[in-house]
């Protein structure tokens, strides 16, 4: 360690450390071409309550120290920590970080102040002993494009200019990792609730309460380099079971064992492919008992066995909510297994329950307590896994709170504002551990996820979105950002969740177009809370009515949501699309296997595979499904022709007609129902003869 009088910098176990103005900063190699930065007031740094980063990877950094400047170089990434003098500032000297490419001396990212007088670039505002409100500010760069940050619903393909919460909510999943067109990736390795802003004048990350700053930066030549490096340090996906690439059937909700089986049997009778059928909520006795209601589901094991005999997997919805009426409530309360509140009633969400029927006030089990995780899993194993269930729909796992006041939540590790973004990760992790111990090759369908969730075999779905064109359009960038956040297993409720009326011509058109998108998505799943039969469709421009209080419908059963539920014309189109999905499965198998090895998204922005397509950073209307299929969903009602820009660097074949188009041109194609524009790279056409009959005719 160097003399603290002459320099605030020193090297410790290969890391560059600074102690200056009562703050410690530690920068160390963490994977190839990557550095991890931690800081906090005091004489040491701290681990976050939950970290997305695995164990420290190998690295051979080079540290250089002078009295006013120090640097650490790890492969292609260099960080400089310099003491800057500030005129007219509250704190006149501070240690400021700058990241650059070590090989070409190009600035990638640098700290800055929002105003010369302050606050500092890393500003810690004390809340209580060992906890701070944190703000970290960086330069903004003209022409920079950003992707990732989880799965949003703002509809923007480019995060530049976006301000968003770092708070897990229904349909808004937070994975605080972004990929920049400037050649870096940035992981905010902090599970705290906060905010992120990519403004034109500054980039700002905040944590409402935290024990320290922690982030990870990686340098790469392109998005592929960066995303692959992220997977290397946060974990790679397992291989997906083959059945999961087929068609999933779901609705809100199948009430009984007989009803569910009748739908599966009808699929078989009609000769329609079906890989999975899903049992939604309220199959249980009470929230927090995590078991089937025997009056409606008398023999779950027989159910699973019959479905498997038909080649169909079964998934069941399990919520982490707990009612005071649950048989486990007393045990969980006395053992500290529940989230509580800092003040007021120890409940975080009003929601209906089955017994007693009607609205109640619930809390959630606390996955920040390892014993609570074990207890919850033991009940799930006894009541579901031991009855043959391998696959779980982990709904409401944000956790969903109404109203959302995370600072009023108390976990086993501290205040909720410090860590609640990681709730779904710990919840999902215990399921994966338990299922692996049972030798089950399982899938988890989850409404929320945090950084590193891809290693747990998690399918993220885009939540309870509305059945209208605006929300449908938002699903394309939602899926792209999820993929750029590491979550390649992704899906959406085909047709949307709320307000879909099966008798409405407008909804039927939307459903068909959404189904087209679903077929060319990573996971293909039909779901929704449909208006019950007998309720007249709304007039154009009017709001949807469910015919009675939606509370009763929501807890009972919405309208039908099967392939054959929307009229003969729609059924014919959907059956053909199911054939297409089945024929796509061999290709998808290779794409998912590549994702598991590398981290390359299954559904990716065009520029991920075609770096020169720089205009695609703001394009929310096209994407690549694997490396060889370009998809342009129909996003406007009434559209029967579309113009699609084809990436340069390849020639393209229109899947439905076999027409050839040169790369870099605009293709004008017809798009009747069931045929959204799909183009195949010419060199890969032979893979798709069974998918698109027109291609087989070419040969």
Per-residue pLDDT tens for 643-670? 999 999 999 999 999 999 999 999 999 9
Q: Which of 214, 313, 398, 582 is catalytic?
A: 398
* 398 catalytic per annotation: yes
CA distance to 291, 292, 303, 431, 435, per residue, from 388 (Å):
13, 13, 9, 15, 12
Closest CA to 448 of 434, 460, 436: 460
Quote the CA–CA distance of 72 and 207 in Å, as a whole number. 26
Average the pLDDT over 440-454 and give the result.
97
Instruction: Provide the pairing of β-strand 529-530 with 498-500.
Output: parallel
Sign of the C-alpha dihedral computed for residues 142, 146, 152 and 157 taken in this order: positive
Rounded (5°) CA angle 226-229-230? 90
Homologous superfamily of domain range 9-234: glycosyl hydrolase (family 31) (2.60.40.1760)
Residues of the chain with CATH 2.60.40.1760: 9-234
pLDDT of residue 93: 87
pLDDT of residue 334: 98
Rounded (5°) CA angle 49-50-51? 125
Q: Which of 94, 158, 464, 582 is catalytic?
A: 464
The residues, any chain, with a CB within 8 Å of residue 606's CB and separated by 6 or more, are 613, 616, 619, 622, 623, 624, 630, 647
The residues, any chain, with a CB within 8 Å of residue 361's CB and separated by 6 or more, are 324, 345, 347, 349, 350
156 neighbors 146 (Cβ within 8 angstroms):
no
Structure letter (DSSP) for residue 362: E
pLDDT of residue 699: 59
What would the DSSP string read from start to end of 191-245?
-S-EEEEE-SS-EEEEEEEES-EEEEEEE-SSHHHHHHHHHHHH-PPPPPPGGGG
Q: Which single residue is written with the structure tokens 């229904």?
A: 170
pLDDT at 630 > cutoff 70? yes
pLDDT at 551 > cutoff 90? no
Q: Any idea which of 205-214, 352-361, 363-372, 652-661 has the lowest mean pLDDT?
A: 352-361
Helix extents (H) in 288-328: 300-309
225 prior amide bond cis, ω within 30: no
Residues of the chain with CATH 2.60.40.1180: 601-698
Per-residue pLDDT tens for 453-488? 999 999 999 999 999 999 999 999 999 999 999 999
3-state secondary structure of 127: strand
The residues, any chain, with a CB within 8 Å of residue 258's CB and separated by 6 or more, are none
The residues, any chain, with a CB within 8 Å of residue 265's CB and separated by 6 or more, are 310
pLDDT at 2 > cutoff 60? no
480 neighbors 606 (Cβ within 8 angstroms):
no
Quote the CA–CA distance of 32 and 17 in Å, as a whole number. 20
Structure letter (DSSP) for residue 324: T
Q: Which of 94, 208, 313, 395 is catalytic?
A: 395
Average the pLDDT over 160-167 and give the result.
98
Cross-sheet strand order for the sheet of 184-188: 9-12, 15-20, 23-29, 34-41, 213-219, 184-188, 177-180, 146-148
* 506 catalytic per annotation: no
Closest CA to 122 of 182, 35, 188: 188
The residues, any chain, with a CB within 8 Å of residue 330's CB and separated by 6 or more, are none
Q: What is the dihedral of CA 556, 449, 627, 617, to 10 degrees?
A: 100
3-state secondary structure of 173: strand
pLDDT at 542 > cutoff 90? no
What count of Cα atoms within 13 Å lies in the side-chain half-sphere of residue 217? Answer: 29
* 144 catalytic per annotation: no
201 neighbors 192 (Cβ within 8 angstroms):
no
Average the pLDDT over 263-279 and give the result.
98
Phi and psi torsions of 510, nearest 5°: -60, -45
pLDDT of residue 375: 98
Q: Which residues pair with 393 in a beta bridge?
A: 317, 445
R_g (Cα) of the chain, nearest Å: 26
The residues, any chain, with a CB within 8 Å of residue 309's CB and separated by 6 or more, are none
Structure letter (DSSP) for residue 663: T
Phi and psi torsions of 4, nearest 5°: -65, -20
Query: What pLDDT band is residue 4 in, cutting at 50, 70 and 90?
Result: very low
Round the average pLDDT of the chain to a whole number and report it.
96
Residue 680 CB neighbours (<10 A): 24
Q: Residues of the chain with pLDDT > 90: what percent? A: 91
Quote the CA–CA distance of 613 and 599 in Å, as a whole number. 21
Q: Whole-prediction pTM value?
A: 0.97
601-698: CATH number: 2.60.40.1180
Helix extents (H) in 458-543: 469-484, 505-519
Q: Which single residue is written with the structure tokens 């033991």?
A: 378
Provide the token pair at 556.
């009972």
Residues in the chain: 699
pLDDT of residue 595: 98
Long-range contacts of 255-260 (CB under 8 A, 24+ apart): 255/282, 255/296, 255/556, 255/557, 256/296, 256/297, 257/296, 257/297, 257/298, 257/299, 257/300, 257/303, 260/303
Phi and psi torsions of 657, nearest 5°: -120, -20
Q: Any idea which of 102-111, 356-365, 407-416 has the lowest mean pLDDT?
A: 356-365
């Amino acid at each position: 360690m160097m003399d603290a009088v002459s320099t605030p910098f020193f090297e410790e176990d290969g890391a560059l450390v600074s102690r200056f103005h009562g703050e410690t900063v530690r920068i160390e190699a963490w994977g190839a071409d990557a550095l991890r930065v931690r800081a906090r007031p005091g004489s040491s740094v701290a681990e976050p309550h939950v970290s997305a980063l695995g164990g420290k990877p190998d690295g051979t950094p080079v540290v250089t120290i002078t009295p006013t400047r120090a640097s650490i170089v790890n492969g292609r990434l260099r960080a400089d920590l310099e003491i800057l003098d500030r005129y007219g500032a509250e704190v006149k000297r501070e240690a400021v970080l700058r990241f650059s490419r070590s090989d070409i001396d190009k600035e990638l990212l640098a700290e800055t102040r929002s105003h010369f007088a302050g606050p500092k670039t890393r500003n810690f505002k004390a809340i209580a002993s060992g906890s701070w409100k944190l703000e970290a500010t960086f330069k903004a760069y003209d022409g920079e494009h950003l992707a990732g940050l989880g799965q949003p619903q703002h509809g923007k393909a480019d995060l530049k200019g976006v301000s968003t919460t770092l708070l897990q909510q229904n349909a808004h999943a937070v994975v605080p990792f972004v990929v920049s067109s400037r050649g870096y990736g940035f992981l905010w390795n902090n599970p705290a609730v906060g905010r992120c802003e990519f403004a034109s004048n500054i980039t700002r990350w905040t944590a409402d309460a935290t024990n320290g700053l922690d982030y990870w930066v990686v340098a790469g030549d392109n998005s592929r380099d960066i995303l692959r490096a992220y997977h290397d340090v946060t974990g790679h996906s397992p291989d997906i079971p083959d059945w999961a690439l087929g068609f999933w059937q779901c609705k809100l909700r199948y009430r009984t064992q007989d009803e569910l089986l009748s739908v599966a049997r009808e699929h078989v009778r009609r000769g329609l492919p079906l890989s999975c059928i899903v049992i939604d909520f309220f199959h249980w006795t009470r929230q927090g008992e995590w078991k089937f209601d025997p009056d409606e589901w008398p023999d779950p094991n027989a159910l699973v066995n019959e479905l498997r005999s038909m080649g169909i997997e079964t998934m069941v919805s399990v919520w982490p909510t707990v009612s005071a009426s649950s048989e486990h409530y007393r045990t969980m309360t006395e053992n500290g297994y529940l989230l509580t509140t800092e003040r007021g009633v120890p409940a975080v969400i009003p929601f209906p329950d089955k017994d007693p029927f009607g609205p109640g006030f619930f809390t959630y089990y606390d996955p920040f307590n390892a014993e609570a995780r074990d207890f919850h899993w033991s009940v799930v194993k006894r009541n579901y896994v031991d009855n043959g269930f391998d696959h779980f729909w982990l709904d409401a796992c944000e956790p969903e709170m109404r109203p959302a006041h995370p600072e009023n939540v108390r976990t086993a590790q501290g205040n909720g504002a410090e860590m609640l973004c990681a709730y779904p990760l710990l919840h999902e992790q215990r399921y994966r551990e338990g299922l692996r111990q049972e030798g089950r090759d399982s899938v988890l369908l989850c409404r929320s996820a945090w950084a590193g969730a891809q290693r747990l075999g998690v399918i993220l779905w885009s939540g309870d979105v509305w059945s209208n064109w605006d929300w449908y359009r938002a699903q394309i960038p939602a899926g792209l950002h999820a993929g750029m956040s590491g979550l390649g297993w992704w899906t959406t409720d085909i047709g949307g969740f709320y307000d879909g009326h099966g008798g409405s011509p407008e909804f039927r058109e939307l459903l068909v177009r959404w189904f087209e998108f679903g077929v060319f998505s990573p996971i293909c799943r039909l779901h929704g809370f449909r208006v019950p039969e007998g309720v007249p469709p709304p007039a154009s421009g009017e709001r949807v009515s469910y015919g009675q209080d939606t509370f009763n419908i929501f807890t009972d059963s919405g309208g039908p949501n099967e392939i054959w539920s929307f009229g003969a014309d729609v059924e014919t189109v959907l059956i053909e699309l199911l054939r297409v999905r089945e024929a796509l499965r061999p290709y998808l198998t290779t794409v998912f296997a590549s994702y598991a090895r590398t981290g390359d998204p299954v559904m990716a922005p065009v520029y991920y595979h075609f770096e020169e397509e720089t205009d695609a950073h703001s394009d929310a209307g096209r994407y690549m499904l694997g490396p060889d299929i370009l998809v342009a969903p129909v996003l406007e009602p009434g559209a029967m022709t579309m113009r699609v820009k084809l990436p340069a660097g390849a020639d393209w074949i229109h899947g439905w007609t076999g027409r050839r188009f040169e790369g870099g041109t605009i293709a004008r194609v017809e798009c009747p129902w069931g045929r959204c524009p799909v183009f195949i790279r010419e060199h890969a056409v032979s893979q798709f003869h069974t998918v698109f009959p027109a291609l087989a005719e070419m040969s």
